[in-house]
């Protein structure tokens, strides 16, 4: 298993480009199942989760080609299998996103139930309840969700909890349903809007995405299109925090600054000077140590849970004390004990971490069991004395495109140790 070796202490300076958003690319790849015409997708990040999704589509019969500009063309004319096997779903929960499209277009789907997860129990009851309300017949047996339906029927749904992939699954299913579906208490994440924009380019009639009430007028069929994925706001935020922690000055290109309001506000509070120019964010820490910040995660437009671990790492070396409360997932604290092993003064009380910043962390061998927790350990390694070795970096490869290359480009001393 590959590891990352980091020698801390270098300030990050320079410019890098942000990749396409993982959490927009995954539902959009699944959405191609809704049509038998070719869909071409650009700005796809080169990530392990994308490879897994392509493998899953390939198993179902998708013809997939990649052109010289790294645009992926997916042709789903020959879909002949309607199932997502446990072997793939266990490595990537987002495989659940094929459920809605398969059911809407083919009337059947066998999708392994995602198991437990390092960051919480993460049930999919909202997906299943919504699809059942649309007329699907759903049984869970042998660890699989087995769903069948004639044409799905439009329905007025009010979700009990705000769920990103739940909203996406139901929105995709509703594009081909009979009538006007309304989803209330929908997730407002930008990736939901990106999916809706892509579906509309495929001929869907969706309005209101980005708000908490989405309306979908079902159509008889969707068609092919070409679509570019929006930039990854969490990758952007992660590199901004890395720069802030090291007192650096960076310029991140090809991003969407307006999607990071809550994150930029916290970085400003921490002492960063932020400048925005069209698709570019400049952050300058002027060599200063950041000030600790208090954070409360919540669904968009609140502060993203996917940035919680990175800010915990920042608070570990900041001036003063900070309180971070996680409200989206019940157990997203895999990084806490590892940061403690690097010398962080951190207390975990229920769903809250209380940090008293220390001047310096010390390098250590560390490992984490989820994507953002692993990223926070890399950030900690960048400012720690001596060497940090981050193990199990396949978690990082799931969500960060060539993280060691981008950080090296900014002046970090980091390299991959092949396992």
Nearer to ligand EPU, 124 or 285 (CB): 124
Nearer to ligand EPU, 249 or 398 (CB): 398
Shortest separation between residue 76's beta carbon and ligand EPU, angstroms: 20
In DSSP terms, which residues pair with 64 in a beta bridge?
74
The binder of ligand EPU chosen from 18, 84, 102, 124 (CB under 6 A):
124
User: For residues 313-332, which are near ligand EPU according to CB under 6 A?
Assistant: 328-329
3-state SS class at 366 = strand
- CB atoms inside a 10 Å sphere around CB 209: 26
Q: Which of 321, 380, 330 is nearest to 9 (CA)?
A: 380
Nearer to ligand EPU, 232 or 391 (CB): 232
Positions marked active-site: 117
Nearer to ligand EPU, 52 or 83 (CB): 52
CA angle 254–255–260, rounded 5-degree value: 170
Q: Taking CB under 6 A as the rule, does residue 196 contact ligand EPU?
A: no
Q: What is the DSSP letter of 231?
A: B
Q: Taking CB under 6 A as the rule, does residue 120 contact ligand EPU?
A: yes
Stretch that binds ligand EPU, among 158-166, 254-262, 269-277, 339-347 (CB under 6 A): 158-166
Q: Which of 42, 41, 26 is nearest to 74 (CA)?
A: 41
One DSSP character per residue, 113-161 reads PP--BTTB----HHHHHHHHHTT-EEEEETTEEEEE-SS-B--EEE-SS
Q: Which pair of structure tokens corresponds to residue 324?
A: 């971070």
3-state SS class at 242 = helix
Question: Prior bond to 246 cis, omega within 30?
Answer: no
Q: Is 89 left (phi over 0), alpha (psi -120 to 50) or beta?
A: alpha
The binder of ligand EPU chosen from 4, 60, 126, 209 (CB under 6 A):
126
The binder of ligand EPU chosen from 12, 18, 21, 26 (CB under 6 A):
26
Site string for ligand EPU, 377-406 (x = CB under 6 A): ----------------------x-------
CA angle 263–303–216, rounded 5-degree value: 115
Question: Cα–Cα distance between 134 and 153 in angstroms, integer?
Answer: 5
Q: Taking CB under 6 A as the rule, does residue 82 contact ligand EPU?
A: no
Question: Cα–Cα distance between 192 and 201 in angstroms, integer?
Answer: 14
Nearer to ligand EPU, 166 or 357 (CB): 166
The binder of ligand EPU chosen from 123, 203, 210, 302 (CB under 6 A):
123
Q: Taking CB under 6 A as the rule, does residue 105 contact ligand EPU?
A: no
Shortest separation between residue 94's beta carbon and ligand EPU, angstroms: 4
Q: Taking CB under 6 A as the rule, does residue 375 contact ligand EPU?
A: no
Stretch that binds ligand EPU, among 160-168, 196-204, 220-228, 311-319 (CB under 6 A): 160-168
**What residue ranges bind ligand EPU (CB under 6 A)?**
23, 26, 94, 120, 122-127, 161, 163-166, 187, 191, 305-306, 328-329, 371-372, 399
């Amino acid at each position: 298993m590959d590891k990352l070796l980091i020698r801390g202490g270098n300030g990050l300076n320079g410019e890098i480009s942000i990749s396409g958003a993982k959490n927009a690319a995954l539902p959009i790849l699944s959405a191609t199942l809704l049509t038998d015409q070719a869909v071409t997708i650009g700005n796809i990040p080169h990530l392990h989760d994308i490879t897994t999704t392509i493998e899953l589509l390939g198993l179902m019969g998708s013809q997939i080609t990649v052109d010289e500009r790294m645009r992926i063309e997916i042709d789903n004319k020959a879909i002949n299998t309607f199932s997502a096997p446990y072997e793939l779903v266990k490595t990537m929960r987002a495989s659940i996103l094929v459920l809605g499209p398969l059911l809407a277009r083919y009337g059947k789907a066998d999708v392994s139930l995602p198991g437990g997860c390092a960051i919480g129990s993460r049930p999919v009851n909202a997906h299943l309840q919504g699809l059942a309300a649309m007329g699907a017949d759903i049984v869970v047996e042998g660890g699989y969700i087995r769903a069948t339906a004639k044409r799905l029927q439009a329905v007025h749904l009010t979700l009990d909890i705000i769920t990103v992939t739940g909203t996406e699954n139901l929105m995709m299913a509703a594009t081909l349903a009979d009538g006007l579906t309304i989803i209330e208490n929908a997730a407002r994440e930008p990736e939901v809007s990106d999916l809706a924009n892509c579906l509309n380019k495929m001929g869907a009639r969706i309005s209101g995405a980005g708000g908490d009430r989405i309306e979908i007028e079902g159509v008889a069929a969707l068609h092919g299109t070409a679509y570019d994925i929006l930039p990854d706001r969490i990758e952007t935020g992660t590199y901004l925090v890395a720069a802030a922690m090291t007192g650096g000055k960076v310029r991140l290109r090809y991003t969407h600054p307006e999607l990071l309001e809550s994150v930029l506000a916290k970085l400003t509070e921490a002492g960063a000077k932020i400048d925005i120019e069209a698709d570019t964010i400049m952050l300058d820490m002027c060599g200063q140590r950041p000030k600790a910040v208090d954070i409360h995660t919540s669904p968009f437009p609140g502060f993203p849970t996917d940035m919680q671990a990175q800010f915990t790492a920042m608070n570990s070396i900041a001036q003063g004390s900070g309180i971070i409360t996680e409200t989206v997932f019940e157990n997203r604290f895999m990084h806490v004990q590892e940061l403690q092993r690097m010398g962080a003064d951190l207390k975990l009380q229920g769903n809250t971490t209380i940090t008293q910043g220390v001047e310096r962390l010390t390098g250590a061998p560390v490992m984490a069991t989820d994507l953002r927790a692993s990223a926070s350990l890399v950030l900690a390694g960048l400012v720690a004395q001596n060497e940090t070795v981050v193990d199990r970096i396949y978690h990082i490869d799931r969500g960060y495109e060539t993280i060691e290359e981008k950080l090296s480009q900014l002046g970090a001393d980091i390299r991959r140790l092949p396992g």
